[in-house]
Amino acid sequence: MTAEDEVNGLLAGVFPAGTAPSRLAVYDWSGPDGLPGGSAHAHLACTEGYVVVGGRGRLQTLSSSGFAETPLDAQTVAWFEPGVIHRLVNDGDLRIVVLMQNSGLPEAGDCVLTFPPDRLADPSAYQEVASISDAADAEAAARRRKDLSVEGFLQLREKVASEGPRALEDFYRAAVALTASRRKQWHDVWSNGALVAARTTGRQLDALDGGQTDHLYGGRLHIEGYPADRRFGMCGRLETYNGTPRGRRGS
């Protein structure tokens, strides 16, 4: 097997640049403050992008810039970096195509929900609500998870308003501690996905600088599918690209 074959094997099923797309129908469940929408959380190592494809709503964020609320309408494109705590509010059939940096890393636990401090301080108590995979009633578990995250978000929002952005420090430290055991897996996911994709681009640029065209003959069309079922995601019913090609042929 050549080095190029190895690279192609690693990149098979990887969306461009090691990103991951999914379709999201935002929850219309009311939260503790009466607003319908999804869970509040932050990603620790991934930038997240939204392309609004239907409906309307709002993106509420907490960051070093404080609290902000951004209107979301069809064709809005918005993205935010690691550390930005975010919550989607559904004002009417809000549907989004989500683009995540570092495909597979969010699924490996890169996100942390804004539960109240007592839950964040206890890994077992956090996991008991955060994980819904074994719940007998997945919808009820997702609702409970969402409500608890919004409860913590509202508390944190008040704290940031009164104390400034340093009020986020306790949440950030708790998030880092909660995910410590997963970091090795994160490194593996990143190095076998996004990093491989970036290094491949570097080799391709070097080849082009040298007048070489060999890699262009290896180009293929990939057709990928979303799963038929919709799982209960953090922010809504989610159809996630799974990296399994439905078909592949030369172009």
Domains defined along the chain, listed by start? 3-241 (2.60.120.10)
In order along its 251 residues, the chain shows pLDDT tens digits of: 344 444 344 444 467 888 989 999 999 999 999 999 999 999 999 999 999 999 999 999 999 999 999 999 999 999 999 999 999 999 999 999 999 999 989 988 999 999 999 999 999 999 999 999 888 899 999 999 999 999 999 999 999 999 999 999 999 999 999 999 999 999 999 999 999 999 999 999 999 999 999 999 988 887 777 666 788 999 999 988 755 433 332 32
The reported pTM is 0.88
Q: How far apart are CA 121 and CA 178, in angstroms?
A: 8
Helices 138-163 and 123-130: angle between axes, nearest 10 degrees: 130
3-state SS track over the chain: CCHHHHHHHHHCCCCHHHCEEEEEEECCCECCCCCEECCCEEECCCCEEEEEEEEEEEEEEEECCEEEEEEEECCCEEEECCCCEEEEEEEEEEEEEEEECCCCCHHHCCEEECCCHHHHCCHHHHHHHHCCCCCCCHHHHHHHHHHHHHHHHHHHHHHHHHHCHHHHHHHHHHHHHHCHHHHHHHHHHHHHCHHHHHHHHHHHHHHHHCCCCHHHHHCEEEEECCCCCCEECCCEEEEECCCCEEEEEEC
- Sequence-separated contacts (24+) of 131-140 with Cβ below 8 Å: 132/232, 138/232, 139/232
The string of pLDDT tens digits covering residues 61-87 is: 999 999 999 999 999 999 999 999 999
Residue-level pLDDT at 12: 44
Q: What is the pLDDT of residue 17?
A: 83
